[in-house]
Amino acid sequence: MNNNSARFVIGMEAMTPTGMNLDIATTVAKADLGRFDQKVDTDGLERFTYANVEYTSQTTLFDKCKELIDNLIESLLKQLPKALKPIPMLVNIPDVISVISMSEWLSECRHSDSIAHYEVVQQAGPSHLTTSLAKLNQFDAIMSISVDSLVDDLSGLIDAGQVMSSSNPWGIIPSEGGAGVILCRNNLVKTLKLKPLAQLGYFDLEVEKTTRRTMMKLVRNASRKIKKFGPVFSDMTNLRSHTEDYGFALGARAEYFDNPQQPFLINDLWGTLGRCSTLALMACAIQEAPDNKLMTLLMFDVQGERALLQLTRMTHV
């Protein structure tokens, strides 16, 4: 457990099946404009729900991830103060993509002059956030990006019985996309007189041996240090383990939350984004939360990790 009260978000972006930037992705998803597709089983009866990115020009997973990363870097660089260029970058990619190949591409990409240092990792979403925050002990600011595609393994997920379908409401909606944030330390905000989008507060992560009571444990631990959680933003899915875990968490400390029966769920907007869901959740929460409002993010990674993060959206007159 660690407290990141002196950490800030100064830039953010997300690319999902409903749009190539956060504003469009959220607006289109809220409008419910056919954001999910369905794959019909060979028997013609079962229908499996999924969402894929259709606006990229690439077809292979590696090339699609490169295009997503390229666009995310471009958007985040536009939000980056000139004094912070070049900036270190941490990129999280799917396990099936070669770290070496992605590193070689990053070293030659069109944004390489704006990147001071880069590292490619393959981690679950909450662990990637932990790594990104740890990098702030080494750097004053860092660009953190994550991309993933559960659609790439749609058939495998269907065979495993994990996909939401006409006969299985307890599944995930395989999706794909990418998200990124620019994180910085408190001293940089003061020195450059920056206007952060949000301040990070309490953060706790459970990586190993997570159960259907792990989020309850995280909520109980947090309640010993925090007496107000605010509204809930989450990337929990329709997996039974997620819904039961959330129920136990509310049973433990429901009175600490604002309207916990109606959490803001990005899975309802974009489907299950895999390891990039954590950063997408952060970006969406900052965009959607009331000004100067403390909020709590409950993170349910599909690889099993659980995390709790408090954010405060900041406004500047």
pLDDT at 137: 93
Burial of 40: CB neighbours in 10 Å, binned 0-12, 13-18, 19+: exposed
In the numeric block, which tokens belong to residue 316?
Answer: 């500047």
Residues 6+ apart with CB under 8 A from 112: 106
Helices H / strands E in the chain, number of each: 10, 12
pLDDT at 316: 67
Burial of 137: CB neighbours in 10 Å, binned 0-12, 13-18, 19+: exposed
pLDDT at 53: 95
Residue 135 has pLDDT above 80, yes or no: yes
Q: Which of 69, 63, 16 is nearest to 176 (CA)?
A: 16
Backbone angles phi, psi at 111, to 5 degrees: -100, 10
Maximum CA extent, the chain: 64
- Which string of DSSP letters, residue by residue, matches 239-259? -HHHHHHHHHHHHHHGGGBSS
Residue 5 has pLDDT above 70, yes or no: no
Burial of 160: CB neighbours in 10 Å, binned 0-12, 13-18, 19+: exposed
**29 dihedral zone (left: phi>0; alpha: psi -120 to 50; beta):** alpha
Residue 1 has pLDDT above 50, yes or no: no
Could you tell me which residues are beta bridge partners of residue 184? 8, 141
Cα 71-286-238 angle, rounded to 5 deg: 85
Q: Which of 74, 70, 127 is nearest to 275 (CA)?
A: 127
Separation of alpha carbons 231 and 258, rounded Å: 5
Separation of alpha carbons 309 and 162, rounded Å: 27
Domains of the chain: 2-191 (3.40.47.10), 198-313 (3.40.47.10)
Residue 172 near residue 239, CB atoms below 8 Å: yes
Separation of alpha carbons 137 and 103, rounded Å: 23
pLDDT digits (tens, 9 = 90+) for 235-283: 999 999 999 999 999 988 899 999 999 999 999 999 999 999 999 999 9
Q: What is the pTM of this model?
A: 0.95
pLDDT digits (tens, 9 = 90+) for 187-202: 999 999 999 999 999 9
Residue 239 near residue 170, CB atoms below 8 Å: yes
Residue 4 has pLDDT above 70, yes or no: no
